[in-house]
Structure 1
Amino acid sequence: MTAATGHHVKGFPETVSVIEVGPRDGLQSEPEFVPTDRKIALVNGLIDAGIRHLEVTSFVSPRAVPQLRDAADVLAGIDRSKGAVLTALVPNAKGAVRAAEAGIDAMVVFMSASESHNLKNVNRTRAQSLEGFADIVRIAGEANIPVFGAIATSFGCPFEGNVPVSAIVDIARAYRDMGITTLSLGDTTGMATPPLVQERCRALGEAVPEADIALHFHNTRGVGLACVYAGLLEGVTRYEASIGGLGGCPFAPNATGNICTEDLVYMLDECGVESGVDLDRLIRVSREAEAVIGRTLPGQVMKAGPRLQTYGMDSVATANG
């Protein structure tokens, strides 16, 4: 396991948790079905690289997301000997029953901060989503499975524009009242900026101090890691990312991939923040993911390597003249 290589940045946490969402969020929009054994190999490779929290699939209707129709089979094939926490999105009570039967470690309920995106994403109003979560929480509780809550479009909506902070606070309070205090703020279409990150983290900290917040950024406009930097300054210690930068919401226009897990780990290493992830191994997994998908992925560190990677003098031509 590699340790952080840089000098610790003043004001940053000493350690953070990197949450891998590629197997679910990254693959869900892929048009070609990724074989179950390849999905299992991807997850096992991520665990071997040191990732200890992974969102591996969704127990959603196979008609809605055909790519994830093998949810139970994927979960059954993962090596769980290293103690990684495996979570899955659960859209309704039926999905919760399936997830419990499959042995998931934690269920994730999700809704959007904006009414428009919630209607597009799950075909429900926000009130209907919250009402439906009661059954999921009950089913999970009977199986002694914790429930986490995700809030999509936390930094802006592609249909409505700005999303008021009050909408996020209201949902976080509703989650808390159900007993859900592990939350994720999702930047569904890459509309987050560092000032918005600061604003929303502080507002939630004041309104729902018991909430354990994770941040989920997309790199749509190139400032994903800048938003992570802002989150670190606010003391946030949980970040969701996708191997190779896979992902993008299928129910939002121009929603490109998540921040890259290996790029995130590289930045954390260089800032002296421990993540427990081996960057070299992670880069290998990212290249394997690229081979599975069959196209170039947006990750940068998987192409360039770590900062101190060196080459022989004879690896490039010498300038003439």
Structure 2
Amino acid sequence: MKLIECPRDAMQGLTHFVPTDLKIRYLNALLQVGFDTLDFGSFVSPRAIPQLRDTAEVLAGLELDDTRTKLLAIVANVRGAEQASAFSAIQYIGFPLSVSETFQQRNTNKSIAQAFEEVDEIQKLCIEGEKQLVIYLSMGFGNPYGDPYSPDLISDFTGELVDMGVQIIAPSDTVGSSTPAHIETLFEQLIATFPTVEFGAHLHARPGEGPAKVLAAYRAGVRRIDGALRGFGGCPMAADDLTGNIPMEDVVETLTNQGVSLHLNQAALQKALALSAGVFM
């Protein structure tokens, strides 16, 4: 079972700038918990995401010698992927590919067709740099724009990505519109159709909805789940302040109740939870 803790997603929309030294302290605390992967930062334009303009400085301050947690950075284009690839400490490069044409344009100022071209280039960079590309299928559970959507559409996108050599794909509930039944149905179809792909679940939810969504993904066979401590973050496009990342503590509790051994350092988890109050004030 792989847990992906996403402080980058949690922090990116904050209106106040989290000081670099505080980011480093918080991320170092998270590195001691035992998560599989830490989505720690992004290499995007500072104009687009000013909160993460210090990602390279933050990376330099991370204590990586005594952690098993791997690092993931988000990029929005080839240039960002080139920047991320220059750092040997980063194992995963994440790219948001929207199944909604409207959101792809709003999120990256590109069409879906152009985004696929970039994915192909980024995948080649990852192979050259011995990194793995993680594709987040934004609006993977529907969209508020009236753009076409169906599980078969997600399968079509997945097929194209597999043909490019992408091995990790995470349908993402960008606006929190999914239901447990929808989650289970989609992942059952994807896992049956593409058994060699590592599918992740990046879900957003309103308070109290997280456990049922996590359980649905787990029952469908998903073994890679994203979350963020205390459920901060989410997508500004959701237009709903109550919709955020699924709290990682809910993910942990739900999976533990299913008998899943997560091998987490509980003391370190509590320390990180305490520190989060100062980050997300």
Fold in common (TM above 0.5): yes
Partner of 2:35: 51
- The SS at the match of 1:216 is coil
Whole-Å separation in 1 of the counterparts to 2:221 and 2:262: 14
TM-score by length of 2: 0.93
Q: Percent identity?
A: 34
Q: Structure 1 unaligned runs (5+)? A: 1-15, 295-321
Q: CA deviation at 1:287?
A: 2.4
Whole-Å separation in 2 of the counterparts to 1:162 and 1:131: 21
Q: Is the 8 A contact 1:92 1:132 kept in 2?
A: yes
Partner of 2:71: 86
RMSD: 1.7
Partner of 1:7: none
Partner of 1:100: 85
Output aligned runs, 1:157-168, within 5 Å: 157-160=143-146, 163-168=149-154
Aligned partner letter, 1:83: R
Whole-Å separation in 1 of the counterparts to 2:268 and 2:249: 10
Partner of 1:266: 253
Q: Residue deviations 1:264-316, cap 9 Å, x none?
A: 1122223321112234432331221122221xxxxxxxxxxxxxxxxxxxxxx
Pick the aligned partner of 1:281 from 240, 244, 268.
268
Partner of 1:292: 279
Q: Is the 8 A contact 1:265 1:277 kept in 2?
A: no
Aligned partner letter, 1:33: F
- The SS at the match of 2:169 is strand
Q: Aligned pair count?
A: 278
Instruction: Point out 4+ residue stretches in structure 1 off by more than 6 angstroms.
Output: none
Q: Is the 8 A contact 2:2 2:224 kept in 1?
A: yes
Q: Is the 8 A contact 2:99 2:138 kept in 1?
A: yes
TM-score by length of 1: 0.82
Pick the aligned partner of 1:112 from 93, 98, 101.
98
- The SS at the match of 2:204 is coil
Q: Is the 8 A contact 1:197 1:231 kept in 2?
A: yes
Q: Could you say if the C-alpha distance between residues 270 and 108 of structure 1 is closer, same or farther in structure 2, counting changes exceeding 3 Å?
A: same
Output aligned runs, 1:156-305, within 5 Å: 156-160=142-146, 163-220=149-206, 222-254=208-240, 256-294=243-281
- The SS at the match of 2:73 is strand
Q: Residue deviations 1:68-120, cap 9 Å, x none?
A: 11111112211112232101111111111110113321111211122222222
Q: CA deviation at 1:134?
A: 1.8
Partner of 1:314: none
Q: CA deviation at 1:175?
A: 1.2
Q: Residue deviations 1:12-43, cap 9 Å, x none?
A: xxxx2111012x10000011111111111111
Q: CA deviation at 1:161?
A: 7.2
Whole-Å separation in 2 of the counterparts to 1:95 and 1:165: 30
Aligned partner letter, 1:93: V
Are 1:153 and 2:139 counterparts?
Answer: yes
Q: Could you say if the C-alpha distance between residues 158 and 279 of structure 1 is closer, same or farther in structure 2, counting changes exceeding 3 Å?
A: farther
Q: CA deviation at 1:221?
A: 6.4
Partner of 2:14: 30
Whole-Å separation in 2 of the counterparts to 1:177 and 1:86: 25
Whole-Å separation in 1 of the counterparts to 2:178 and 2:190: 16
